[in-house]
Chains A and B, each alone.
Chain A
Amino acid sequence: MKIVVCVKQVPDTTEVRIDPATGTLIRDGVPSIINPDDRAALETALVLKDTTGATVAVLSMGPPQAEAVLREALAMGADEAILVSDRRFGGSDTWATSLTLASALRRLQADLVLCGRQAIDGDTAQVGPQVAEHLGLPLVSYVGSLRPEGDRHLIVKRMFEDGHHVLRVQMPCLLTILKDMNTPRYMSAPGIFEAFQRPITTWTLDDLDVDPSQIGLKGSPTRVKKSYTKGTKSAGKVYEVDPREGARIIVENLREKFII
Chain B
Amino acid sequence: MTDHLDAPHQLLLQMLRDFVETEVRPKAKAVDEEERFPEETVRQMARYGLMGIPFPKEYGGAGGDNLAYTLAVEELSKACGTTGVILSAHTSLCAAPIYEHGTEAQKQKHLVPLAKGEKLGAFALTEPAAGTDAAGQQTTAERRGDTYVLNGSKIFITNAGYADTYIVMAMTDKAKGTRGISAFIVEKGTPGFRIGKKEEKMGIRGSATCELIFEEAAIPAENLLGKEGGGFGVAMKTLDGGRIGIAAQALGIAQGAIDATVAYVKERKQFGKPLSAFQNTQFQLADMQVRTDAARLLVYRAARRKDARLPYSVEAAAAKLFASETAMEVTTKAVQLHGGYGYTREYPVERMMRDAKITEIYEGTSEVQRMVVSAAMLR
Interface residues of A (CB under 8 A from B): 71-72, 75, 185-196
Contacts and interface: CB of A to CB of B under 8 A. Distances in A.
B48 interface: yes
Given A75-B15, A189-B15, A189-B62, A196 B8 contact: yes
Interface stretch (B49-57, B200-208, B319-327, B351-359): B49-57
Interface residues of B, number: 20
Interface string B1-40: 0000001100110110011000000000000000000000
B49 A188 contact: yes
Contacts of B7: 71, 196
5 contacts: A189-B15, A189-B64, A190-B49, A192-B8, A194-B63
A72 B12 CA distance: 10
B68 interface: yes
Contact of B48 (A72, A189, A195, A196): A189
User: Which of the listed residues A187, A189, A194 has the most CB atoms from chain B within 10 Å of its own CB?
Assistant: A189
Contacts of A75: 11, 15
A189 B91 CA distance: 14
Contacts of B11: 71-72, 75, 187, 192, 195
Contacts of A192: 8, 11-12, 15, 62, 64
A89 B142 CA distance: 75
Interface string B59-80: 0011110001000100000000
Nearest to B115: A190
B19 A186 contact: yes
Contacts of B48: 185-189
Interface of B: 7-8, 11-12, 14-15, 18-19, 47-50, 53, 57, 61-64, 68, 72
Contacts of B12: 187, 189, 192
Per CB-CB distance, the 6 closest pairs between chain A and chain B, nearest first, are A189-B49, A189-B62, A190-B62, A187-B15, A190-B49, A193-B63
User: Which of the listed residues B14, B18, B64 has the most CB atoms from chain A within 10 Å of its own CB?
Assistant: B14
Given A71-B7, A189-B15, A189-B62, 18 more contacts: A71-B11, A186-B48, A187-B12, A187-B15, A189-B12, A189-B48, A189-B49, A189-B68, A190-B49, A190-B61, A190-B62, A190-B64, A192-B12, A192-B62, A193-B64, A193-B68, A195-B11, A196-B7
Contacts of B14: 72, 187
User: Which of the listed residues B47, B48, B72 has the most CB atoms from chain A within 10 Å of its own CB?
Assistant: B48
Main secondary structure of the interface of A (DSSP, over half): helix
Contact of B50 (A189, A194, A195): A189
Contacts of A195: 8, 11
Given A72-B11, A196-B7, A189 B53 contact: yes
Nearest to B18: A186
A149 B12 CA distance: 36
A192 B15 CA distance: 9
B68 to A, nearest CB: 7
Contact of A191 (B18, B49, B61): B49
Contact of A193 (B8, B47, B50, B72): B8
A197 to B, nearest CB: 9
Contacts of B15: 75, 186-189, 192
Nearest to B9: A192
Contacts of B8: 192-193, 195-196
A104 B63 CA distance: 33
A189 B18 CA distance: 13
A194 B68 CA distance: 14
Contacts of A189: 12, 15, 48-50, 53, 62, 64, 68, 72
A190 B116 CA distance: 10
Nearest to B45: A189
A76 to B, nearest CB: 9
Nearest to A33: B14
Contacts of A188: 15, 47-49, 62
Contacts of B53: 189
B134 to A, nearest CB: 32
Given A72-B11, A196-B8, A190 B19 contact: no
Contacts of B50: 189
A86 B47 CA distance: 38
A83 B53 CA distance: 29
A185 B68 CA distance: 20
A196 B47 CA distance: 20
A190 B72 CA distance: 13
Contacts of A72: 11, 14
A193 B55 CA distance: 12
